[in-house]
Amino acid sequence: MTAEFDYILVGGGLQSALLVLALRAGRPAARLALVERDTRLGGNHTWCFHAGDLAPSTQAWVNTLVCRRWPGYSVHFPGLERRIDREYAMITSARLHEVVCDAFAHAPASRLVLGSEVRHLGARDVELADGSRLAGTVVIDARGSEPPSPSSPQGYQKFLGLEIELTHPHAFELPMLMDATVEQIDGFRFVYTLPLAPRRLLVEDTTFSNSPVLDHESLRRRIHDYVRRQGLDVACVEREEEGILPMPWSARHELPRSGPLRAGMRGGFFHPGTGYSFPIAARLADLVSSLTPESFFGAELQTFARAHWRQARFCHLLNRMLFGWFAPQERWHVMRRFYRLPVDTIERYYALQLRTRDRARLMCGRPPRGLSLRHHLVESGK
């Protein structure tokens, strides 16, 4: 027996969740199917975004996912402390699962399939492991990133985070997006801290590294040491999460003229300079909700993809410079220089909506300390 849908979404991560919410808001009569191999959506993640990442029309349906907001955030580097007064928001996997399941509960013509592997994914159909088949006008493959090719050099933003309960209240009023005053190990290293409650923090030890390897025990120890240096005591660890995000130096993408559409990380729709996907995933979901299934692979989607990859190519250049021209322990100078730029440029960088003036600010002027021709020649000769 074959079930018929307008859209079939494969993969239950961030991209598919945003597609569901955008389509429910923009096309409430659309018949949706979402297939996820695990029994819950969203995995074990925390996603954050800046207010400038989203258009007002997008925020209307993204807001249902938001668990916490702050009026700004801060960064700390040797010789630089700065507060950025732009709203910052947080989404959790638990909230994502709850909201998306509720959306399907109120859409009787749609279907949420959890705990099922995909045996075959075609242009207009999906076959599940039990032999059942879903047919759809549009099939979107958003199953996460594929393993990188050894011939494609890239760096990584990798992290391990602990959600901790403290014995006493902390003093963090705002998120600390980057505390780079810590020892520089394995690349540009910083600690990222979100204040979740008076006695609860999410603390992530993060590195822009050439290697995707995570040393879990060392990272856990560093986080506990960092918390102690803040004068705090850990009562217990409530949760642990990790991530290894690609920071590619180059990429080739071609949008197909027919399905399936590779979306999210799998399709290259993410920010190459951070590895994050939220702003681009939300914009893609907003676009999809504006297209009819019958005209899905038309000019609008092609225009969107070309604009995204033009922005991505500039970030590929920045990644080549960061990883190829600076020794690992010197990369923090690049990010300190970045955070001296005007707030609007910083905001547009994270949103991956850079203007010509922003590119000039990023590239021109006195180079950051640590720029090394010798390091570049060594890296180029590998």
Strands (E), 167-318: 176-179, 188-197, 200-209, 234-248, 261-262
Same domain, 183 and 276: no
Q: Rounded CA gap, 323 and 273, in Å?
A: 11
Does residue 91 lie in a domain region? yes
Q: Which of 204, 220, 248 is the last residue of a domain?
A: 248
Same domain, 64 and 203: no
Same domain, 143 and 284: yes
Give the domain range for residue 264: 2-70+86-148+251-308
pLDDT at 188 (0 to 100): 98
Does residue 366 lie in a domain region? yes
Does residue 95 lie in a domain region? yes
CATH classification at residue 180 = 3.30.70.1990
Q: Rounded CA gap, 52 and 68, in Å?
A: 16
Same domain, 138 and 43: yes
Number of compact structural domains in the chain: 3
Question: What are the beta bridge partners of residue 191?
Answer: 179, 205
| Token pair for 214 | 């995570």
Q: Rounded CA gap, 4 and 194, in Å?
A: 43
Same domain, 116 and 183: no
Same domain, 17 and 143: yes
Same domain, 29 and 55: yes
Same domain, 216 and 285: no
Same domain, 33 and 136: yes
pLDDT at 148 (0 to 100): 63
Q: Tell me the pLDDT of the chain (382 aa) as tens digits.
A: 566 999 999 999 999 999 999 999 999 999 999 999 999 999 999 999 999 999 998 998 999 999 999 999 999 999 999 999 999 999 999 999 999 999 999 999 999 999 999 999 999 999 999 999 999 999 999 998 776 665 678 999 999 999 999 999 999 999 999 999 999 999 999 999 999 999 999 999 999 999 999 999 999 999 999 999 999 999 999 999 999 999 999 887 777 777 799 999 999 999 999 999 999 999 999 999 999 998 899 999 999 999 999 999 999 999 999 999 999 999 999 999 999 999 999 999 999 999 999 999 999 988 888 777 667 666 666 6
Q: Which of 231, 248, 265 is the last residue of a domain?
A: 248
Q: Are 158 and 238 in contact (CB under 8 A)?
A: no
Same domain, 167 and 295: no
Place of tokens 């899905």: 296
Does residue 322 lie in a domain region? no
Place of tokens 């060594």: 378
The answer for residues whose C-beta is within 8 angstroms of residue 316's C-beta and 6 or more apart is: 248, 249, 250, 251, 272
Same domain, 187 and 222: yes
CATH classification at residue 294 = 3.50.50.60
DSSP helix/strand/coil, 105: helix
Same domain, 128 and 181: no
Does residue 314 lie in a domain region? no
Closest C-alpha to 341, from 354, 319, 326, 358: 358
Q: Which of 217, 248, 279 is the last residue of a domain?
A: 248
pLDDT at 149 (0 to 100): 62
Phi, psi of 58 (to 5 degrees): -75, -40
Cα Dmax for the chain: 66
pTM: 0.94
